[in-house]
Amino acid sequence: MKKVVEVAGLQKSYGGRGFKAVALKGIDLCINEKDFIAVMGPSGSGKTTLLNILSTIDKASQGTVLIDGMDVSRISNKDLSKLRRDKIGFIFQEYNLLDTMTLQDNIALPLSLNGVSGRICLEQTEELAKMFGLTAHLKKYPYQLSGGQKQRGAICRALITNPQIIFADEPTGALDSASGRELLECMQDVNENRGATILMVTHDPFCASYAKDVFFLSDGSIKCKISRGSSRKEFYDRIIGVETSMGGDFLCE
């Protein structure tokens, strides 16, 4: 199995000599191709910090992060920008669609920035829109779309460059329960049928139950990992059980 992300001895601290807060304490993690991983933990556990470092938004204090075999701390800013553009997809809680562009142009934007021809941009955009039930909405602007439609559009935008990995930060946080379930089913579908590799941070056990594996963080360390069997309901119950045993407040950081 191909390794997409390799993390070794990852540490992150903030502050100086007078005051130092340690957010991550020696994280080791391997994400393989076609994995769908959820990261959970109480508020302040370090899960958002971990996501930010793995997605190259932030830098580690110590340790290494390899993405597709490249050490992100040792490559130039130019190569880092190229890695983000070509190998990483992002799904944010607040969609981050551009209000002045149609949904079609928002989805196609990563390809357009890469100099891909208009014809190919349109073909790939229409293919993804069909898969996510957005064909009738491509000419609409974000303000004309529901939250669920905007978030499905954000998934299309994340997928259009065929990235090595997709990072999702509380992807259902701004959605109602029906739209959230629909989005999670879409994410599960692209993982199982398109082979997308996904790492998702969430505080919601229902959301996490759609992943294949769940890692639990507490006080900056990985405390345990559980894997899904054939039943998502049984997996959900096990996630709740781990939450209960860990205690703490599993809310957004």
Contact 158, 200 (CB under 8 A): no
How far is the first Cα of the chain from the last one, in angstroms, to the nearest whole number? 33
Contact 1, 33 (CB under 8 A): yes
Query: What does the alpha-carbon distance between residue 65 and residue 59 come to, in Å, rounded to a whole number?
Result: 9
Q: Amino acid identity, residue 189?
A: D
The predicted pLDDT at position 253 comes to 45
Pairing of strands 198-201, 165-169: parallel
pLDDT tens-digit profile of 46-80? 999 999 999 999 999 999 999 999 999 899 989 99
pLDDT at 223 over 50: yes
Order of strands, sheet of 70-71, starting from the edge strand that comes earlier in the sequence: 20-32, 3-15, 62-67, 70-71
pTM of the predicted model, to two decimals? Answer: 0.90
Interacting residues of 204 by C-beta distance below 8 A, sequence separation 6+: 172
The predicted pLDDT at position 108 comes to 95
pLDDT band at 249 (very low <50, low <70, confident <90, very high): low
Query: What does the alpha-carbon distance between residue 163 and residue 166 come to, in Å, rounded to a whole number?
Result: 7
pLDDT at 88 over 80: yes
Q: Which residues of 4-39 are buried (b: 16+ CB within 10 A; e: fewer)?
A: bbbbeebbbeeeeeeeeeebbbebebebeebbbbbb
Contact 61, 12 (CB under 8 A): yes
